[in-house]
Structure 1
Amino acid sequence: MIDEARPAVPRPEYPRPQFRRERWMTLNGEWEFEIDRSDSGRERGLLDRPLSERITVPFAPESELSGIHDIDFMTAVWYRRAVDIPDEWAGERVLLHFGAVDHDTTVWVDGTEVGRHRGGFSSFTFDITSRVTAGESAEIVVRARDPRSGPQARGKQSTVYANAVTEYTRTTGIWQTVWLEPVPPVALGRPRITPNVAASSFLFELPLSANRPGTRIRVAVSDADGEVARGSVRADLDLAPSVQIALPSDRVRLWSVTDPHLYDVEIVLEDADGRALDTVASYAGLRSVSIDGRGFLINGERVFQRLVLDQGLYRDGILTAPDDDALVRDILLSQAAGFNGARLHQKVFEERFLYHADRLGYLVWGEFADWGARVPGAPEEWQQPTSSFITQWVEVLERDYSHPSIIGWCPLNETFQFIDDRISVLDDVTRAMFLATKGFDRSRPTLDASGYSHRVVETEIWDSHSYEQDPAEFARMMAPIAHGEPYTNREGDRETPPRDTPPWSVEYRGQPYFCSEFGGIWWNASPDAARDEAGSWGYGGRPRSVEEFHERFDGLVSVLLDDPEMFGYCYTQLTDVFQEQNGIYTFDRDEKFDMERIRAVQTRPAAFEDGRDRPCLGSTT
């Protein structure tokens, strides 16, 4: 049956709002498809023959919206589609873009391999110019392999057949928009836009595919009243020329949660005669992030971060939002409950989510989907992430650098090994991901790993996770930060280890501190549901009534709001996710509680905000 409410081409919006060209072609919609359970498809001729099924891209085959809805293991999947290259693209380079494909991708055009990519959460592009001709048809074949046989960044995808505990239905293959784009032989690359609030300016770093004598790049910054400022730079001497553009004092407007102002940006590459060779549209927000002792400041102000854990899953699309409105709705639901931001958890969200966060004034912590690095049989099943984790994380940083809503980075989540004399791959990769983040972006703080073991001495943020359900006990656990001794996760959380037990974390050095996971109060529709893998679950005992839920929520939140040394928190979580039913909303985004009451608890002044004129304690390295 055809769903008349859904567009013929799903997810038709331009997928990259901060780097827009007018001409492009979506490849979302129907593709030929075939599951290759044993990864023998190449030998069986799948590259050269029609495939047996049809799938709706960009939805993964495990999802209902894909039309396949097969949740069994798939070692590999294949896609095939013929594409007509427009006549007017003659003389231009043709780029094939993938928002995300899980996990190991190979692409052929008319039987010739054009590229490979490893990583299920980062975007990538192949130049297919040499394999296509304007005015003619080309056949694109995609193979995505997802063997899950070793360390692999998989986020919360289940390693067993069914959903279990904190792991959910898998995603295999294409799960974000696929599109074609024509660009000139010498073209603009994605700019890096760095705001400078102190100087009321933006730094534009403007990479190029190549250089040509006499070319220039012109950048114009505008607001609702028209052009604000412009600048230009020669484009024939450097592969990444840069230009600093200062804003007139009467046109300066900061980006914030209460006023998410965005400047429009136009970037034009011109030839020696002033003719446009390439034009892209973008936007920028003037926003600063700074650290003052234990204070985490936004635009020099103490803004308490009332964050919610958002795993970005949907019942019908799994990792892929059914439509663009769903992305907006999740942010608005969060704000309606009193949150001013989110920790985007174990998923690299599609870029349109960040665009909506930018324009709606929603604070975001960027995180990598690193779970999946445990190695069965290793000592204590140590986490052993590979160098591929680093590569994928740098791809994420490159894509998302210029979004003003992102106020911090967190490459890893819940690393849990002891720090001792045993050589650990985890130590090397944690430090590499931290250094890569700081090398790429010095404008935002980096948290080496969220919760459990902090392994990098220079980590700029310190945090912990606690699902203690008794507000009084929770307050006791959090209180030592006042004396510079923050609660730090260990195995068993509340247990005191023997003196000879190796430490879990490097020494705390006075960094800003927050509880980045707490709450998770279990509440589902049925009071008799079993708290096991087959039924619903949440943290702690299930409240006996909605009133008891509200009392517990108020008590836990108040512990952190009333702590002057706590710059924020992250409540688990925005929505129920399959069997994990501890959300503020249901999995279908329906209200579970009195949202006005939830909002009232969260939006009262925080002690951290009340202390805006009080010097922060501690120091940072």
Structure 2
Amino acid sequence: MSQNVTSAMPKPEHPRPQLVRRKWMNLNGPWGFEIDAGDSGLERGLTTRELNSRIVVPFAPESALSGIEHVDFMEAVWYRRTVTIPSGWAGQTVLLHFGAVDHDATVWVNGVEVARHRGGFTPFTADLGGVAEPGTDAVIVVRARDSRHEMQARGKQATWYNNTHCQYTRTTGIWQTVWMEAVPEVHIKRLRMTPNLADSSITLEVPVSQNRSGHVVAAVLTDNSGMRIEASATADLDLTPSLRLEIPAGSLRPWSIEDPFLYDLEVSVRNASGTVVDEVSSYAAVRSIALDGKVVRLNGKPVFQRLVLDQGYWPDSLMTSPDEAALIKDIELSMAAGFNGARLHQKVFEERFLYHADRLGYLVWGEFGDWGVSGGGTIGHNQQPTASFVAQWLEVLKRDYNHPSIIGWCPLNETHQVLHDRLTVLDDVTEAMFQATKLADPTRPVIDASGYAHRIRDTDIYDSHSYEQDPDRFRIEQQGLAEGKPYINRKGDGEEYSVPYAGQPYFVSEFGGIWWNEVEARQAVDGSDVASSWGYGQRVRSEEEFYARFDGLCSVLLENPDMFGYCYTQLTDVFQEKNGIFTFDRSNKFDLARIRASQIRPAAIETQE
């Protein structure tokens, strides 16, 4: 077990770019740490004593960058750190934020329990008012439980010891930034922005901690030309004051792939005497999404979505990006290869990734990491997601609603349940997650479940997953869409998973996955043992064969006028899965010009018109 813990602060950037205050403190870096194999730490007094090891937060203990690199199962882990709260925050309340802790977290500060949270992908906050004040020390203790024996949303984390097929090294405990900020008694909570391209406006909802009489919320929208739009609302009239920012038609710059323009946004709260008591910085964009027959329109125009499956893993840091540059690099690599977006797969990505997608004009589908809920924890039939999934997914929607780059939601992925005469737990949770998504965000399309078990008859989007490797057979498989009979995932014996297709916009949201590793191919030619790896179908025998297969598979979907997009598997190799456009360390595997040329087609095909 490694103990190389650095004192340098990793990931120092503000973790929440859409709600930034000046008074905040990043708590990443060395923390006390201890593995609690039997989950008996509470009885053994781990809340009150120093821990036996050190870890670098926010990297999971399974990762190399954490300094621990313990990859066996851990029922529970503990963290401890003493922080001196700045005296300059006097008179304000201290909030302690966790970007993500996998999976069930309990937090104590100065011996007082201040938070409990379930779910490994979403943030939570502890209010330290009355527990730790500015100018004093806060002893922070965190216990994270992550049992292999319970039904929980894990995404691609393996529920058996070894990495196998498309299951990878686990993530336990803290894996996103921990930080503090100072807020006044009346303060702004998470903003909610709804753009309206038709009338050049943004509706801004500003929830506040208290609706004090005489308080006013105000917002100022600016751009780089000096345009200044102001709006205000009385904060004591409604629980969530709502403002409308109207942009003059001549000043409107819709957010798009070609011009991902972001307006600067400042929001404040003033008391009855006009004094500013809280202010935050943010940004906003205006764009529209609409469904028109089988077409998905962005700002009224069809855009063929050339998506890539992005699982967001790195060799030395697992689900946590090693640094800010890594987030940017993945988007830039994808765009260089000819993709214009990504399906963020089986993981809720860090907020800063979405910020960079916003500013770079990169389309993304948000997804929940729902795998890990079938019998024994493996992926199979009779999956049993729980009510906790709905709660966690609503936290995702609340966190990410404002990002213009997100153009659709995917609550569930590859659920398996044969249709029969009785409703199941899976049916209930699928319905709940779909309806919750529509209520929380009526502005974006929703796939009830990507691939396999479509259970909602009026799902906004219908899709399938196909890893057919022969382009000719793939074309035959997909040609029924023109007659309203698209390819639908079925059980091997022909039993149905899904309700019938009803004419919705349709795409193949997983295809390709072409298995290629140059070193292994050379070993096979030399007659030596081929290193163990995994991919879909028969691996190609040469790089030229890869180009031919990639071009042929993409052509089937690009040339289908009824297809609104596709998602190719995948951006990078991940551990043993060797089907990426790039290697796991983001090195080039292919000539990107040729990959790009297979995807960038004439405008008539690109726009489905």
Name the TM-score class by shorter chain: over 0.9
The answer to whether structure 1 residue 558 and structure 2 residue 555 are counterparts is yes
In structure 2, relative to structure 1, the CA distance for the partners of 1:139 and 1:541 (3 Å cut) is same
How many Å separate the matches in 1 of 2:230 and 2:43? 57
Q: Is the 8 A contact 2:4 2:67 kept in 1?
A: no
- Higher mean Cα deviation, 561-570 or 522-531? 522-531
**Residue matched to 1:396:** 396
**Residue matched to 1:327:** 327
Q: Is the 8 A contact 1:561 1:606 kept in 2?
A: no
Q: Is the 8 A contact 2:259 2:361 kept in 1?
A: yes
How many Å separate the matches in 2 of 1:164 and 1:137? 45
- CA deviation vs aligned residue, 1:392-424 (integer Å, no higher than 9, x gap): 000000000000000000000001101212331
How many Å separate the matches in 1 of 2:379 and 2:331? 41
- CA deviation vs aligned residue, 1:39-87 (integer Å, no higher than 9, x gap): 0111111111110000000000000000001101100000000010111
TM-score for both structures, normalised by structure 2 = 0.96
- CA deviation vs aligned residue, 1:203-258 (integer Å, no higher than 9, x gap): 00110111111111111111001233111111111120101111011110010011
- Higher mean Cα deviation, 570-579 or 242-251? 242-251
* Secondary structure at 1:226 match in 2: coil
**Residue matched to 1:619:** none
How many Å separate the matches in 2 of 1:3 and 1:370? 33
**Residue matched to 1:576:** 573
- Higher mean Cα deviation, 380-389 or 524-533? 524-533
In structure 2, relative to structure 1, the CA distance for the partners of 1:283 and 1:60 (3 Å cut) is same
In structure 2, relative to structure 1, the CA distance for the partners of 1:534 and 1:170 (3 Å cut) is farther
- CA deviation vs aligned residue, 1:257-287 (integer Å, no higher than 9, x gap): 1110001111011112221110011111111
- CA deviation vs aligned residue, 1:316-367 (integer Å, no higher than 9, x gap): 0000010000000000000000000000000000000000000000000000
Q: How does 1:101-180 map to 2 (within 5 A)?
A: 101-180=101-180
How many Å separate the matches in 2 of 1:187 and 1:531? 66
Q: Which amino acid aligns with 1:340?
A: N
Q: How does 1:168-207 map to 2 (within 5 A)?
A: 168-207=168-207
Q: What is the CA-CA distance between 1:3 and the residue it aligns to?
A: 9.4
- Higher mean Cα deviation, 416-425 or 302-311? 416-425
Root-mean-square deviation over aligned CA pairs: 2.0
Q: Which amino acid aligns with 1:161?
A: Y
Q: Is the 8 A contact 1:520 1:539 kept in 2?
A: yes
- CA deviation vs aligned residue, 1:518-539 (integer Å, no higher than 9, x gap): 0000001321479999711211
In structure 2, relative to structure 1, the CA distance for the partners of 1:611 and 1:534 (3 Å cut) is closer
Identity of aligned residues (%): 61
TM-score for both structures, normalised by structure 1 = 0.95
**Residue matched to 1:439:** 439
* Secondary structure at 1:129 match in 2: coil
**Residue matched to 1:513:** 506
How many Å separate the matches in 2 of 1:413 and 1:534? 30
Q: Is the 8 A contact 2:149 2:376 kept in 1?
A: no
In structure 2, relative to structure 1, the CA distance for the partners of 1:140 and 1:379 (3 Å cut) is closer
Q: What is the CA-CA distance between 1:311 and the residue it aligns to?
A: 0.1
Q: Which amino acid aligns with 1:56?
A: V
- Higher mean Cα deviation, 344-353 or 120-129? 120-129
In structure 2, relative to structure 1, the CA distance for the partners of 1:531 and 1:554 (3 Å cut) is farther
- CA deviation vs aligned residue, 1:89-138 (integer Å, no higher than 9, x gap): 12211111000000000000111111100000011111111210221111
Q: What is the CA-CA distance between 1:606 and the residue it aligns to?
A: 6.2
**Residue matched to 1:252:** 252
**Residue matched to 2:211:** 211
How many Å separate the matches in 2 of 1:470 and 1:308? 19
The one of 593, 598, 609 aligned to 1:596: 593
Structure 1: where are the runs of 5+ without partners? 613-621
The answer to whether structure 1 residue 526 and structure 2 residue 523 are counterparts is no
In structure 2, relative to structure 1, the CA distance for the partners of 1:610 and 1:173 (3 Å cut) is closer
- Higher mean Cα deviation, 379-388 or 123-132? 379-388
The one of 515, 524, 542 aligned to 1:545: 542
The one of 551, 563, 567 aligned to 2:564: 567
**Residue matched to 1:453:** 453
- CA deviation vs aligned residue, 1:451-501 (integer Å, no higher than 9, x gap): 011001120000000000000000011110000111100123xx6x2xxx4
Q: How does 1:303-314 map to 2 (within 5 A)?
A: 303-314=303-314
In structure 2, relative to structure 1, the CA distance for the partners of 1:120 and 1:513 (3 Å cut) is same
How many Å separate the matches in 2 of 1:325 and 1:7? 20
Q: Which amino acid aligns with 1:513?
A: Y
Q: Which amino acid aligns with 1:70?
A: H
Q: Is the 8 A contact 2:468 2:511 kept in 1?
A: yes
* Secondary structure at 1:396 match in 2: helix
Q: Is the 8 A contact 1:534 1:579 kept in 2?
A: no
